[in-house]
Amino acid sequence: MSERHSADLKIRRGGPEGPAQFEHFEFEFEDGQSVLDALRWIRGNRDASLAVRYSCINANACKECVMRIDGRTGYACTTPLRAGEMLIEPLPNKRLIRDLVTDTLPPDERLAEP
Amino acid sequence: MGQYLETDVLIIGAGGAGMYAAISAAEAGAQVLLLDKSVIGRSGATIMAQMTVAAAIGEEEPDDWRFHLKDTITAGRGLVDEPLAEILCRTAPERIWQMEAWGVGWARKGNHITQAHAPGHDRNRCVYVDFLNTGPASSRTLRNQVRRHDSVRRISDLTVTDLVLQDGRAVGAVALHLETGQTVTIAAKATVIATGGLTSMYSRNSASANMGGDGFAMGLRAGAELIDMEFVQFFPIGHLAPRLIGMDPIMWDPFRYKLGGRLLNSAGEEFTQNYGTAEDGKYVVTRDTATYAIYKEVEAGRGSPHGGAWLSFEHIPDADLRAAFGPVIDRLADAGIDLTKMAIEVYPIAHYHMGGLRVDDTLATNVPNLFAAGEAVGGANGANRLSGNAITEAFVFGELAGRSAAAMAQGNAAPDIRDAAKPYLRVIETAAGQTGDGPTPTAAIAALKDLLQQDVGPFRTDEGLTHALDAIAEMTAALPDMPTGARAPFNQQLADWLGLRNMLAVARTIATAARTRTESRGAHQREDYPGLDEAWGYNQVLRLSGDELQLSRGEVRRLAPEEQPS
Ligand SMILES: Cc1cc2nc3c(=O)[nH]c(=O)nc-3n(C[C@H](O)[C@H](O)[C@H](O)COP(=O)(O)OP(=O)(O)OC[C@H]3O[C@@H](n4cnc5c(N)ncnc54)[C@H](O)[C@@H]3O)c2cc1C
Ligand code: FES
């Protein structure tokens, strides 16, 4: 069995208004687990209000989980966790909706304003 | 009351079936609204599929749709709705050629399309797109085609929560716009449910997060009949360990099939031959036999370290591995997996659902103006599905349902559903107002998945199913008080509450049908009733009357003797 390690996820919370707020979550992981594994665990076990977009979980097909991880753009589902602090933020160049969710939809697939 | 939209044809869910339905409805002259709770064409099973699509196009060797039909009926173990299966097999070649014309790029050998062999098929029948690209290529192709139609309006991030009924007829739906928390009412002359399957209700699954059975629950609440709900297909060799990310957990199947990967127990011995079907280095064990063999071997204490079976390719020469796996071998190497030196661990995972909405030959349900397409439809695959038939079903039934719905819409006046929608909107608004504390629906979903895996999974007993039904009833009673968090943009906790509401309704139908069927057949395996019982050769039909779930027997629809494939 593989070893267990501890990741300290520093996650940007909240909406576009006001200064950026960060919250820390500890997650014990096994080798090979992904950042998305940690975020889903946090939603189920620590804070269900954490907003994070994803669908396919394993297949890297939907491309919905794109975010900023340690200052680089990547997919949460394909980025392995590592021990120590990891900085998790929404994409900087898209409109922020809340927490890790930004507006990444094709413009012609959005519900138009009434 | 949020936005009010109107359309001729409303299509709920934009996987292969929903997108195909949108295209055919638009081609038939209808205005179409195509919705998805996540992103159009990206978020269901279709884009995740990596293997093959079955159709008797006879490119690799002579074939006829009647042979395909015969194999489908055999695999379904006496419960296949034969007229539906006939539509599936007869129309499949047309869809495959249409997709080819639209540029999907089926793999070719010389001047013909390549067709691979897959378990249960009598010949090479299954087309694919290399490497492991069947689903992504199909989704891209359909997305491009949908976009060419100005009469199709697409909206992502819109979760449909209920169908709206007026005088017993389906007249549209209500939905939650997750980003803003707004509700949306959609009036439609005809509606197609294309929401896919339910396998994310199990803790071990190959599913995306959006496969929680919404369409079955919405149909049930609207008075639609469901059939064969007890038949959940478990995929025998889902990836278990080592943790592998960015890859589909069912990816091993084509390689096992192409190369003859060996299934081994903790002693390094092959074992599937002990459970009925011999393996001779070629992949012949059908899915439910392999599932049973692995489950039993683990139960007998001969499992791998993570509680599954070993899958080994170590006996295959390096060059053959590379030729078969292509670039995938490098992705495996990145994950620390060297197939020439190590076996990986596999275990049965929930993969597909044979049951679903009961439909006629136009894909109409028993609720006027309501149609179904794709995995949401029950019956065509009976008690067990052949590999490759599910994407075929999404294409064929999608195309047909779109046409049927457009024809129905033509004869209907535009309904005004502002009043009729109110009670359905109130469900969302009431849930959104539950800002208190307590166990979250998010946590309850995880508990429900474990319960279903344990008690309503690949092997069932009366005791387990009764326990599950009690637990489901308890959770259903607790649901109204579960908190949905503070009102906020993209409130997934509210989406979880609405999802849990559906999962509980659907879980009840699966467990009820499974407890009543006191035999083992296809994907429904009862440890207390091993073996197929001829007397059970009929479908079970479920419908909701108030809070009461009514179960009845339906005769299996057969083709007339002269139409039977020989
Ligand atoms: C990993 C994997 C691999 C597979 N491989 C194969 C294969 O090789 N060959 C094969 O034949 N079959 C395969 N299957 C099965 C096959 O892919 C599916 O049966 C088929 O794609 C289903 O298509 P669909 O359009 O009915 O549903 P989906 O493609 O699942 O689409 C349903 C859509 O509905 C949306 N939706 C759900 N609920 C709502 C709601 N309430 N409101 C709005 N939208 C909603 C979802 O977000 C989703 O986008 C595989 C399945 C999986 C999971
Ligand atoms: S969850 Fe689908 S790509 Fe990451």
H helix count then E strand count, chain A: 1, 7
Each residue's pLDDT tens digit, B390-431: 999 999 999 999 999 999 999 999 999 999 999 999 999 999
Distances, alpha carbon B454 to alpha carbons B135, B202, B457, B522, B527, in Å: 30, 9, 6, 19, 13
DSSP state of B397: H
Average confidence (pLDDT) over B6-16: 98
ipTM of the complex: 0.96
Task: State both tokens at B462.
Answer: 């009366």
Closest CA to B505 of B525, B475, B483: B475
The reply to whether B281 falls in a domain is yes
In this predicted structure, which of B126-130, B231-235, B252-256 has the lowest mean pLDDT? B252-256
Question: Of ligand 2's atoms, which has the minimum distance to the CA of residue A75?
Answer: 4
Domains belonging to chain A, first-starting first, are 4-104 (3.10.20.30)
Distance from CA of B565 to the nearest CA of A (A): 38
Question: Of ligand 1's atoms, which has the minimum distance to the CA of residue B392?
Answer: 11
Query: How far, rounded to the nearest angstrom, does the alpha carbon of residue B524 sit from its chain's CA centroid?
Result: 16
Between B527 and B55, name the one with better pLDDT.
B55
3-state secondary structure of B128: coil
- Whether B225 and B357 have beta carbons less than 8 Å apart is answered as yes
pLDDT of res. B431: 97
pLDDT of res. B284: 47
Does B242 sit behind a cis peptide bond, omega within 30 degrees of 0 on the bond before it? yes
DSSP state of B333: H
Q: List residues in chain A touching B: CB distance below 8 A.
A: 1-2, 15, 30-34, 37, 43-45, 48-49, 51-64, 75, 77-78, 80, 97-99, 101, 103, 105-106, 108-111, 114
Between chains, do B156 and A45 touch, taking CB under 8 Å as contact? no
Q: Is the pLDDT of residue B245 over 90?
A: no
What is the pTM (predicted TM-score) of this model? 0.95
Each residue's pLDDT tens digit, B265-292: 999 999 988 876 544 444 445 666 778 8
Which H or E run contains B320?
Answer: helix B318-325
pLDDT of res. B279: 43
Q: Is the pLDDT of residue B305 over 60?
A: yes
pLDDT of res. B528: 94
Name the residue type at position B11. Answer: I
* Measured distance CA(B431)–CA(B472) in Å, rounded: 19
Domain count, chain B: 1
Instruction: Report the DSSP pairing between strands A72-75 and A66-69.
Output: antiparallel
Closest CA to B308 of B286, B321, B325, B290: B290
pLDDT of res. B283: 43
The reply to whether B317 falls in a domain is yes
Of all ligands present, the nearest one to the C-alpha of A40 is 2
pLDDT of res. B281: 43
Q: Is the pLDDT of residue A113 over 80?
A: no
- Residues of chain B above pLDDT 70, percent: 97
SS3 string of B144-167? HHHHCCCCEEEECCEEEEEEEEEC
Best residue in B245, B349, B437, B450 for a mutation probing chain A (most A CBs within 10 Å): B245
Per-residue confidence band for B336, with pLDDT thresholds at 50, 70 and 90: confident
Q: Quote the mean pLDDT of chain B.
A: 93
Question: Of ligand 1's atoms, which has the minimum distance to the CA of residue B196?
Answer: 27
- Ramachandran category for residue B264: left, alpha or beta (phi over 0 → left; psi -120 to 50 → alpha): beta
The reply to whether B273 falls in a domain is yes
Q: Which of B48, B127, B174 to mutate to test the pocket of ligand 1 (most atoms within 8 A of CB)?
A: B48
Between chains, do B209 and A59 touch, taking CB under 8 Å as contact? no
Per-residue confidence band for B296, with pLDDT thresholds at 50, 70 and 90: confident
Q: What is the DSSP string of B184-248?
A: EEEEEEEEEE-----GGGSSSBS--TT-S-HHHHHHHHTT--EE-TT-EEEEEEEEEES---SS-
Between chains, do A34 and B489 touch, taking CB under 8 Å as contact? no
Of A2, A52, A77, which is closest to B245 when you measure between CB atoms?
A77
Each residue's pLDDT tens digit, B158-216: 999 999 999 999 999 999 999 999 999 999 999 999 999 999 999 999 999 999 999 99
B154 touches chain A (CB under 8 A): yes
The reply to whether B316 falls in a domain is yes
pLDDT of res. B277: 52
Domain limits for position B290: 237-326
pLDDT of res. B235: 86
- Whether B507 and B452 have beta carbons less than 8 Å apart is answered as yes
Which H or E run contains B505?
Answer: helix B492-516
Q: Is the pLDDT of residue B324 over 50?
A: yes
Q: Is the pLDDT of residue B52 over 80?
A: yes
Phi, psi of B189 (to 5 degrees): -75, -30
Average confidence (pLDDT) over A41-45: 96
- The CATH number of whichever domain residue B280 belongs to comes to 3.90.700.10
The reply to whether B259 falls in a domain is yes
pLDDT of res. B380: 98
The reply to whether B563 falls in a domain is no
Q: Is the pLDDT of residue B232 over 50?
A: yes
